[in-house]
Amino acid sequence: MTTTETDSTEKMDLRAALIERIGGYMTSHSIGVAAELGLADLLGDGVRGSEELATESGTHEPSLRRLLRTLTAVGITVEPEPGRFALTEVGSQLRSDSPDSLRAFSRMFCHPVVLRAWLGLEHSIHTGERAFDHVYGKDFYSYLAEDGRTSELFNEAMSEESRVAAERLAAGYDFSGFEKVVDLGGGDGTLLAAVLPDRPQLRGVVFDSPSGVAEAPATLERAGIADRCEARAGDFFRDIPADGDLYVIKSVFQDWGDEESRALLRSCRARIPDTATLLIVGSVLPETASTDEPIMFFTDLNMLVNSGGRERTEREFRAMLEETGFTVRSVRLGAAGPLSVIEAVPGAPR
């Protein structure tokens, strides 16, 4: 190749790299529509033609075929022969019957409710305000409290997202010295359903808002732990249960700005026993951004758009905990992979 040809190939690669990223919203929207239509359930383990898929999903065949070819281009499906499609391993996670299903997660985060809020990103960048409130005139959790179907989808999406981290926490953390775990903002109870079944000495409380905790009784029942675990509704800024000895807060601080996060920690400090342990489970951002873990940075921006919160670095978590009367005992990065685990105790260093 001549120097001019090499330069021109590099230029094409650079252009393609940017154009592919620009098309990111088309990728996510295509995945969201596939999840909404249940295409992965229709494909199952087989290879199926776009005509039968269109009939079963009640869609327009030529357009569905174009959607499936786009999904093939981004690795969700393959097209082994023209017009016939099968799932890849990545795409199989869109099946409802997969133990690792991310179908509800895809439906939620590609949902028009969330996509519309993202249209307000520029507003957030100019003002620092939540785009969600700017677009809908109310905050995300007030919206969910008034929209039962989206709230149910959100709780299911959180449960799907949480399952792996909950299993890793259950396998990697030493729960042996504790009697009662309180999962603050515990949603549908997925975390306790991973931790309690193999630990008969342990009791639990899933604590969340009335809409957040609505699906928890069914989860606890399915996990066979309903007799030693309760779902309690309340506001964690005001009435945190005082009867636990281990308090877990998973994927909650990211929802809140610094002031509210400190208020939540003060609420914990005031209510939890002095001998209790606090476990914060969530993403911990590196000090400098890189391409290593893009999801953390997407989540951070998603929080700016939807909840007004943010992801934080280890330094920021430590400062916040120390300011509100806790001592950090350990920070284990990636211990509930991909999430990290911060263990803190009330009071000055013991």
Ligand X SMILES: C[S@@+](CC[C@H](N)C(=O)[O-])C[C@H]1O[C@@H](n2cnc3c(N)ncnc32)[C@H](O)[C@@H]1O
Which range in 10-18, 43-51, 84-92, 248-256 contacts ligand X by CB under 6 A? 248-256
Q: Least CB distance from residue 192 to ligand X, whole Å?
A: 10
Neighbour tally for 23: CB within 10 Å: 14
Q: Is 179 in the site for ligand X (CB under 6 A)?
A: no
Token pair for 296: 């953390």
Q: Is 182 in the site for ligand X (CB under 6 A)?
A: no
Asked if residue 298 lies in contact with residue 283, where contact means CB atoms within 8 angstroms, the answer is: no
| Count of residues making up the chain | 350
Nearer to ligand X, 74 or 184 (CB): 184
CA separation for the pair 197, 178 (Å, rounded) = 15
Q: Binding pattern to ligand X, positions 250-279, x when CB under 6 A? A: xxx--x------------------------
Q: Binding pattern to ligand X, positions 130-159, x when CB under 6 A? A: -----------x----------------x-
Nearer to ligand X, 50 or 208 (CB): 208
Give how many residues touch ligand X by CB under 6 A: 17
C-alpha dist (Å) from residue 266 to 65, 277, 322: 54, 14, 11
CA separation for the pair 104, 145 (Å, rounded) = 18
Candidate list 175, 209, 297, 318; residue touching ligand X; CB under 6 A: 209
CA separation for the pair 190, 219 (Å, rounded) = 7
Instruction: Indicate if the alpha-carbon torsion angle 13, 16, 20, 22 is positive or negative.
Output: positive
Candidate list 218, 237, 289, 295; residue touching ligand X; CB under 6 A: 237
Contact residues: ligand X, CB under 6 A: 141, 158, 162, 185-187, 190, 208-209, 212, 235-237, 250-252, 255
